[in-house]
């Protein structure tokens, strides 16, 4: 079940989700490296670092994030058409969870992202908020969701904000068929699990992938 649009292109979309500090970028970098070693064409979905007009309301932030998201999606369409693997360090659900946590209605936020292509797989890096916080210090205002006014203390705000994001992700896990990875495990172990998951969605390269699975992780 998913409200996303089916991806009718030959290319595959791989989404990695998780709270800040879960290790998404690290795992994605390793995954892309491995996929490229298998001669796969890999393209990154570069959604991070969007500009936000200040001061913003939750609605305005939601609309601007979605605009930025849809522009990224437009940019990777040619890659999907030519059969590439598009790796997204946060995809539509990341935008949605943030909108929900900022008080937007579920129906509204789902509709906003309804034009997003359904990913071939969504890998969810599950990490307790306390561990994420230790990894990320010092905490940036955006990661702490300081605009929500949950607390004036960044650490406390981070705990509450990222905790809510985590709850939203957990609630979505079944609907979007999350492949859950324990993000407290060693980076190498997580990566091996991720590669096993990804191998299933690149069937034409399965044999090649299996052969390389034993290869060292760079």
CA 60, chain centre distance (Å): 21
Residue 170 touching a second copy (CB under 8 A): no
- Taking the least distance from each CB to a second copy, the nearer of 67 and 196 is 67
- Taking the least distance from each CB to a second copy, the nearer of 64 and 193 is 64
Angle, vertex CA 88, rays to CA 124 and CA 207, nearest 5: 80
- Taking the least distance from each CB to a second copy, the nearer of 80 and 183 is 80
Site string for a second copy, 94-113 (x = CB under 8 A): -------------xx--xx-
Distance (Å) of CA 66 to CA 98, 192, 214: 11, 32, 39
Distance in angstroms (rounded) separating the CA atoms of residues 88 and 38: 19
Range 14-73, binding a second copy (CB under 8 A): 57, 59-60, 63-64, 66-67, 70-71
| 15, β-bridge pairs | 88, 122
Element (H, E) at 96: helix 92-101
Binding residues for a second copy (CB under 8 A):
57, 59-60, 63-64, 66-67, 70-71, 74, 107-108, 111-112, 114-115
């Amino acid at each position: 079940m998913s409200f996303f649009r089916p991806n009718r292109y030959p290319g595959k979309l791989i989404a990695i989700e998780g709270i800040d500090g879960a290790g998404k970028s690290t795992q994605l970098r390793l995954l892309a490296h491995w996929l490229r070693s298998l001669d796969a064409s890999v393209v990154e979905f570069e959604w991070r670092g969007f500009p936000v007009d200040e001061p913003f309301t939750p609605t305005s932030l939601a609309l601007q994030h979605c605009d930025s998201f849809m522009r990224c999606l437009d940019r990777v369409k040619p890659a999907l058409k030519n059969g590439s693997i598009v790796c997204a360090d946060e995809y539509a659900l990341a935008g949605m969870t943030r909108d929900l946590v900022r008080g937007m209605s579920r129906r509204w936020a789902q509709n906003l992202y309804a034009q997003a292509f359904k990913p071939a797989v969504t890998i969810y890096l599950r990490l307790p908020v306390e561990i994420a916080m230790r990894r990320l210090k010092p905490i940036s205002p955006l990661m702490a969701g300081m605009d929500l006014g949950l607390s004036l203390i960044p650490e406390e705000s981070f705990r509450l904000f990222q905790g809510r994001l985590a709850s939203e992700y957990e609630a979505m896990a079944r609907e979007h068929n999350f492949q859950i990875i324990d993000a407290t495990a060693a980076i190498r172990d997580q990566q091996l699990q991720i590669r096993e998951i990804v191998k299933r969605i690149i069937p034409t390269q399965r044999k090649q992938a299996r052969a390389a699975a034993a290869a060292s992780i760079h």
